[in-house]
Amino acid sequence: MSGGWQVGVDVGGTFTDVVALNQGGSDTRIAKVPSRSDDPVAGLLVALRAVGLEWTDVDDLIHGTTLVTNAIIENDLAEVALIATRGFADTLDIGRQNRRHLYRLDLPPKLASQVPAERRFEVRERLDHEGRVLESMDPVSVEEAIRRIDESGAQAVAVSLMHSYANAAHEDALGERLREGVPFVALSNRVNPEAREYERTATTALSAGVMPLAASYLDRLDAARPAGSRLHLFHSAGGMASPEALRELPLGLATSGPAAGVAAAGRIAADLGIEHAISFDMGGTTTDVCLVFDGEGQISAGRSLGDRPLRQPMIAVESIGAGGGSVARLDHGALVVGPESAGADPGPACYARGGDRPTVSDANLVLGYMNSDRVIGGDIRLDVAAARAAIEPLASAMDMTVEEAALGVVRVANSAMLRALRRVTVERGIDGRQCALLAFGGAGPMHAVELARAFSIATVIVPAHSSVFSALGCVGAEMSYAQQRTLRMAMEEWDAERVNQARRELTTRLLAPLLAAGYGEADVTIEEVAAIRYRGQSYAIEITDAPLDDRARLNREFLDRHRTLYGFATEEPWELMSIRLRVSAPRTDAGLGSPPPGAAGEPVPQTTPACTFDAGGPAATPRYARSGLAAGYGLAGPVVVEDAWSTVVVPPGATLTAHEAGHLHIATGITP
């Protein structure tokens, strides 16, 4: 029998975070341990033991991982064969004909195809864009393709036939035949049932490429899982899914950890009544930002990962290679930070584990923000001398003091994050200056106020348990699934039955894993999103909670949304490009625990070290324990507030106030 615990575990590139809640949420345990890239399953068990639990104590374990993301970014993929309609096997090579570096003719114009020419095969068949059969699938060409796949040594097969999003019959038949001899088969009508031939094929090839890795990892997790414990994984669309569903669609694990942080940020924003917020998650390897609107992280159906197109519903997280472990260097005389990271091993120089290259964490320690007396992740002691030694070569090359160079490293990292904030707001028609910045992750609260000031944001919120926030998002997750389907229906040719048929088919497909998990249809919430564009436009506008039963109302909402985003709307004809459904069911036995209230009375600083905030030099900066701040108490900067795993920096001119729920509200000094 398990012990009634709900546990969220987020495995990052540098640290693994864990949050455990007992039944009723009266006891919350949190911990942070170094990640085990050599054996993630063993690392997960170490994380459980860090909060005093064995897996046998756990009822539900919800797990976020960077496994699939890292495999795609590092191009560590299985050897994949592609089957396409005759004449279209070179779609991946042709792509969109865009150059990656417009003005660098000395660099390759684009990435090499995920599938080399010798593993691309064709079958005779053809559908039109409405799914009508123009040429039946030729069984002789199918058998020839399978024979050549066997000879190629491919570990997985991607199938992407023309217009299979409109009619899956040919792909499904081919997939059934392939599975007789191939263990891993990805069908485009399952992975991405949409138009855009290149993106659909590329996404299906990526799915096939990570299938063996994901299946192996899920099998190892399942083998380690005690019989009385349930295992779920957090997926990139903002909820948890079963291992069985993710074996078939492993791209759901891409960016699962950052998506969990956004989900938790949405809940906090909703609790605090914040309409527009930006989640700011800075960890050891990356910084992830996302727009949160009315308590929901925004969803995008078109992303890229590792410079590869990735078409599936995902939390619209903007990830950049700027974390605490990001390496600083000079490039032709210019100071550059990231995307290369020192990772968990050896880590930043200040970890005293053999690292000797300067990182953002080293700069923060040199500037006095981090506490050298603390132990991080259970056994990491910070070494100021090692941090200074790592930054010294940079300082000498730039003819600066070590502190000036460290300040430059922090500012360059902040500049990269600022560009990410602009992308997630401006591109969605939102004035970022009207947002609150929700800062979390191990390093986020250290950089948040200066970043907010650079973007003219007035309020920063550091939520309770901010250092393990993605794990907290996991433990409070609901079970959900989402998928998008292309329709391409002109407004003057509206076919209500065709729309409803697509809705019914998507609903049936997405409900299946929820029903298998024991939920009833009455427990499930269905959200529908319509993607609409003026005829001839390249990209569509999304209408959430779309009134798909009422074309006239849908027309009004499209025009209103277009005016909001672009300042105008016309009466030109539009078309419904696609619909996206998300089905979800809340978990009634999970809640976000709150930390105990801070101590009553006036807080007393633990120490008053010198911190450097600008070129004017160091300033005496009181350092407080977060647990010592009573609700409603305020502190004027400069101050530093810290808990066991994270540090909140409040520079001069900013003011911090403790919230009764354990959150910290910081007024940056910017007038809204």
Decide which of 3.30.1490, 1.10.3470, 2.30.29, 1.20.1510 is the CATH code for 479-585. Answer: 3.30.1490
Superfamily of the domain at 5-72+216-253: ATPase, nucleotide binding domain (3.30.420.40)
Asked if 175 contacts 185 with a C-beta cutoff of 8 angstroms, the reply is: yes
pLDDT at residue 618 tops 80: yes
pLDDT, residue 589, reads 46
Question: Which carries the bigger pLDDT value, residue 495 or residue 241?
Answer: 495
What are the residue ranges spanned by the domains of the chain? 5-72+216-253, 79-183, 479-585
* Per-residue pLDDT tens digits for 388-399: 999 999 999 999
CA 116 to centroid of chain Cα atoms? 29
CA pair distance 51, 204, nearest whole angstrom: 39
* Band (591; pLDDT cuts 50, 70, 90): very low
CA pair distance 487, 166, nearest whole angstrom: 8
pLDDT, residue 70, reads 77
* Band (601; pLDDT cuts 50, 70, 90): low
Question: Which carries the bigger pLDDT value, residue 671 or residue 221?
Answer: 221
pLDDT, residue 263, reads 87
pLDDT at residue 176 tops 60: yes
Question: Which carries the bigger pLDDT value, residue 15 or residue 532?
Answer: 532
Q: Encoding tokens for residue 423?
A: 């992308």
CA pair distance 3, 57, nearest whole angstrom: 4
* Per-residue pLDDT tens digits for 270-287: 889 999 999 998 877 778
What percentage of the chain exceeds 70 in pLDDT? 95
* Per-residue pLDDT tens digits for 560-589: 989 888 889 999 999 999 898 888 887 654
- Triad 370, 65, 479: Cα angle to 5°: 120
Residue type, 305: L
Lowest mean pLDDT across 59-63, 480-484, 618-622: 480-484
pLDDT, residue 1, reads 43
* Per-residue pLDDT tens digits for 57-73: 988 888 888 788 878 87
CA pair distance 293, 295, nearest whole angstrom: 5
* Per-residue pLDDT tens digits for 327-369: 999 988 889 988 887 876 788 899 888 888 999 999 999 999 9
Q: Which of 661, 665, 672 is closest to 271 using CA atoms?
A: 661
CA pair distance 275, 272, nearest whole angstrom: 9
pLDDT, residue 214, reads 92
* Per-residue pLDDT tens digits for 407-420: 999 999 999 899 88
CA pair distance 438, 464, nearest whole angstrom: 11
Q: Encoding tokens for residue 448?
A: 């948040």
pLDDT, residue 84, reads 96
Residue type, 185: V
The strands making up 230-235's β-sheet, listed across from edge to edge, are: 28-34, 15-21, 5-11, 58-65, 230-235, 239-241, 479-490, 574-585, 525-534, 541-544
* Band (3; pLDDT cuts 50, 70, 90): low
Average pLDDT over all residues of the chain? 87
| Sequence-distant (≥ 6) Cβ neighbours of residue 341 within 8 angstroms | 13, 14, 284, 285, 286, 321, 323, 325, 326, 327, 359
* Per-residue pLDDT tens digits for 86-98: 999 999 988 877 7
State the residue for tokens 């249809």: 521
* Per-residue pLDDT tens digits for 179-222: 999 999 999 998 988 888 999 999 999 999 999 999 999 999 98
Q: In DSSP terms, which residues pair with 20 in a beta bridge?
A: 7, 29
* Band (136; pLDDT cuts 50, 70, 90): very high
- 183 phi, psi to nearest 5 deg: -75, -25
pLDDT, residue 373, reads 80
pLDDT, residue 402, reads 94
Q: Write the CA distances from 9 to 42, 514, 519, integer angstroms.
A: 13, 22, 24
pLDDT, residue 4, reads 78
Mean pLDDT of 647-652: 94
pLDDT at residue 173 tops 50: yes
CA pair distance 586, 545, nearest whole angstrom: 18
pLDDT at residue 170 tops 70: yes
* Band (237; pLDDT cuts 50, 70, 90): confident
Mean pLDDT of 311-316: 83
pLDDT, residue 653, reads 94
CA pair distance 123, 360, nearest whole angstrom: 52
What are the residue ranges of helices labelled H in 103-168? 139-152
Residue type, 130: E
* Per-residue pLDDT tens digits for 422-479: 888 887 778 888 899 999 988 899 999 999 999 999 999 999 888 888 888 888 777 7
Q: In DSSP terms, which residues pair with 198 in a beta bridge?
A: none
* Band (121; pLDDT cuts 50, 70, 90): very high
pLDDT at residue 107 tops 80: no
pLDDT, residue 398, reads 93
CA pair distance 410, 484, nearest whole angstrom: 40
Supply the Cα-derived Rg of the chain in whole angstroms. Answer: 26
pLDDT at residue 100 tops 80: no
Asked if 638 contacts 651 with a C-beta cutoff of 8 angstroms, the reply is: yes
